[in-house]
Amino acid sequence: MGRHQYLERLALGRSPFEDLEPEEAPTETNDENAPPNQQNGDVYQQQYDRKGRPVNPATEKQNQDLRDAQNAVLAVVGVVESKEQRTQLKYRQIAEARAGVLNHEQIRGDVLESTSVSVYEMVMLFPATLLARIQAGTVDFSTPFAQLLATELGKIITGGWGSILAVLFPGRVAQLLCYAVEWMIYDRIEDVRDRVDAAIGKRFRKPFHERAGGSDRQQSPQQKRAHVTAGICKEIACIAVDAILLPLKYYGWAQTLGLAPAWPLFPPWRALLPGGSTSIHNYLWTPLIPHPYIRHLVSPATLLLCWTFVNRHDQQHDPPAAQLTAYTHPHVNKIPQFPQDPFAHFWHTLTLFRRSAIHWLGYGIQRRWYGGTEVADHVELCLRQLEDNRPITEPNPTVREHRWRSTSLALLPPSYLAGCIDGFFRRLFLLPLENAMLRAITSSYLASSFPKTALITSAVANYLRPGGGFAGFGSWTADRNYMSKLGLGLALFCAAETSLFFALSGLVRWNGVRHFGWIDPAEFGKVGRMGNFQYRRTGPAEREEEGGGERAIIHHEDLVGLPGMRER
């Protein structure tokens, strides 16, 4: 105990060269540090440890306090650091590095998503144009499909800019102009609709004591009628915009079908105005079937308006005019009954097919059971959250908690695949309407006085009846050739989408493994890096051998299905 005061002054920050201060002599009343038996007047009893060495609890406590004080001073100076502080600092640095990696991964996913949309539109121009011409019947159905495809591709390779414009980009400039104008006007209409809904909510808001349970979600009958009226006005305004742009869309589709020349890009401005002898409106509203009751229902303008109306709502992932009804998306884990809700039953069936296709290709999670409850499909939940912009499942406390990698880069391949599957079913569902619209445009344009291409003028008489009306093939062989070409056109379209999907999937996997530390299933057990910190890559079997626990959750990552999608 000779160095007691020296250590005390060193721990408290005093200089060991200062003069010692005499301690006060203990008095009879100053017995706070005495053992309890001495405070009560009893005889002191010596205590011993396990090895038989004499110990004094008061001295041991005082020594521990001195050591803690000295370590605290040294930690403040920076000479040493505590184990808890070192572990906390390490985990904080790992978390910051992981957050930075996920941020860069999100940015890379957004860039690839924007690029993939542009590449998709460019690559799918030729299959979409060829399929539209097959639907309209403006190709030679007696020619084999391979020869027809080689002829169209030969125009691109051997032809000049005019051939490339006529084969790849026919009518696209006029259609893009229509889309740009519609997007700007629709955005303003939607803004006005939101303001009207907000004003209606303030006008018909119930007092707080009249709300059921204090909730403001229950609307009064007047408020519901006002919302429906606002929705009807919005649809009428959008249809009016579509009707104004009908001549330009009509001419763009005529160029796409190979009826009108690819140059000039736009029709004469007098043809866009109603009332003139050369106006497109003279042929837009011409009935194709001379029936007194349905003649105006099968005109090119009516069919084109219906097709535009359905496609506008399809881009919003809603059925047509869904906001005017009480329609809600069906739950992902509940099967709606067909008699009560046929559309929801059909939608849920397509959703199950989409999920099965995603799982068959290896995306998503494996089916496992935790706590007696099956883990939901993470990819499907994320896609539905993106579509509906709302959570569709509530957290289940009985299911073991998992962390998922839900960055845009990780979800890009399954999102693209889900969009292709939905687009394929949408195309099949709208195929009769689209066929009728394209054939109506073709029939009316052939009967018009507008300039036509030389190929259509010489060859279209074999397939379409001039003077209006739908085309009649007249024989089973012609009908069979038409259906065969239509099926091959759809197959070519799907093959192009499939090729883009595998290219996109390989690019995403390469970026994830190379730059963001995703785990390749063939590399389980190897050492990788995340930021500037190493981590072990272990599979599910190795984790089970180690017993799981908090240590495995912190240090180990796991991949099931999509590389880097699941992390623990």
The DSSP string of 80-146 is: ---HHHHHHHHHHHHHHHHHHHHHHHHHHHHHHHHHHHHHHHHHTHHHHHHHHHHHHT-S-TTS-HH
Give the per-residue pLDDT at 196. 85
What 3-state class would DSSP assign to 370?
Answer: strand
Give the per-residue pLDDT at 529. 46
Paired with 533 in beta bridges are 530
Q: How many Cβ atoms from other residues are within 10 Å of residue 301's Cβ?
A: 23
pLDDT tens digits, residue range 509-552? 888 888 887 765 555 445 444 443 344 444 444 433 334 333 32
Give the per-residue pLDDT at 116. 92
Give the per-residue pLDDT at 517. 74
Burial of 214 (0-12, 13-18, 19+ CB in 10 A): exposed
Paired with 63 in beta bridges are none
Give the per-residue pLDDT at 402. 41
Give the per-residue pLDDT at 226. 81
Among the residue ranges 103-107, 167-171, 433-437, 467-471, the one predicted with the least confidence is 467-471
Residue 365: pLDDT band with limits 50, 70, 90: very low
In angstroms, rounded to a whole number, what is the distance separating the alpha carbons of residues 448 and 251? 12
For residue 346, pLDDT beyond 50: yes
For residue 492, pLDDT beyond 90: yes
Q: Taking residues 464-487, what's their average pLDDT?
A: 65
Give the per-residue pLDDT at 25. 46
Q: Percentage of the chain surpassing pLDDT 90?
A: 7
pTM across the whole model: 0.67
Bridge-based pairing of strands 556-557 and 533-537 is parallel
Give the per-residue pLDDT at 316. 54
The amino acid at residue 113 is E
Q: Taking residues 126-152, what's their average pLDDT?
A: 86
pLDDT tens digits, residue range 153-199? 777 777 666 666 666 777 888 888 888 898 899 889 888 888 888 88
The 8-class DSSP code of residue 390 comes to S
Give the per-residue pLDDT at 364. 58
Q: What is the DSSP string of 438-477?
A: HHHHHHHHHTSSS---HHHHHHGGGTS-SSSS-----SHH
Among 83-87, 321-325, 373-377, 381-385, name the most confident range: 83-87
C-alpha distances in angstroms, 499 versus 124, 383, 416, 454, 502?
Answer: 11, 22, 12, 34, 5
For residue 414, pLDDT beyond 70: yes
In angstroms, rounded to a whole number, what is the distance separating the alpha carbons of residues 68 and 11? 9
Residue 345: pLDDT band with limits 50, 70, 90: confident
In angstroms, rounded to a whole number, what is the distance separating the alpha carbons of residues 540 and 64? 45
Between 514 and 331, name the one with better pLDDT.
514
Give the per-residue pLDDT at 544. 39
Q: Which helix (H) or strand (E) holds 404?
A: strand 403-404
